[in-house]
Structure 1
């Protein structure tokens, strides 16, 4: 599995969720926890919390720092020997797939938060741009765009934290098996 696969996200997503779906005892639970709960919380919180430049700056820094740490850690995953058991091999494969997905998710999250931060920064530097946008676009569309940006950032933040939890679970299973 090469780190260059990150440029084609389909196999990374398929490997991560496919293994969780087909090889786990509670596949629906994983999907609900990883996707459903963050989406529900993001929709609820996104209705009341408007993204400010401070929140976007924090999330951009958070995603950038965790991306740097998770991208480096993917290379430190040990290899499995021929004499190791099937359980160790399966745990290692899922650890690799989850770590690769965490790197991809971190990259996407960092890009989205940086894009929204750039939009905030540009509009803050050019107050005339805000009045032009408000005169060209209806208030309902602007409100919907801000709510959507808030919801996306909150979802990515929660989904990323839960994905890191899955990676930590597989790290724990690897340490219990004596492979780390």
Structure 2
């Protein structure tokens, strides 16, 4: 079934039931994606969180075809246009950063992603990211988090995590 990437999807009644019953025919990867579908995340956010497990477009199509998810009336907002400052970066304030979203949103996204990757084992790293008070502190904590992640999940996934957070766009 065709997935409209501009539509936000939510679990149907059948999808909510499937979380608790683990029905036959639903792979663990598909179930993990179903768990992520919350009626708020856009296709791109779901793809970012789940892409390491497979083709998000195809998997969402299966969930839709099987009746586990349904479209909401909400549509994803268009990606913001990033305007580069015309003045040299040295003229920006001391707390300036290239974060494309508010600090709190970046912290929430990064901690959700860490918990997706590590489960409860990521709590300490999440605390460190949440404790940051400026974009500069957040970036430093993010780099330290990436270093820790490399030891646990490997270089490739740690790098992907860092890129996902750094390339985060406003919802």
Q: TM-score, normalised by structure 2?
A: 0.28
User: Hey, which of these two has a bigger chunk of strand by percent?
Assistant: 2
Q: TM-score, normalised by structure 1?
A: 0.27
User: Hey, which of these two has a bigger chunk of helix by percent?
Assistant: 1
Q: Mark the structure with the bigger radius of gyration.
A: 1
Choose between structure 1 and 2 for higher RCO, CA contacts under 8 A separated by at least 6 residues.
Answer: 1
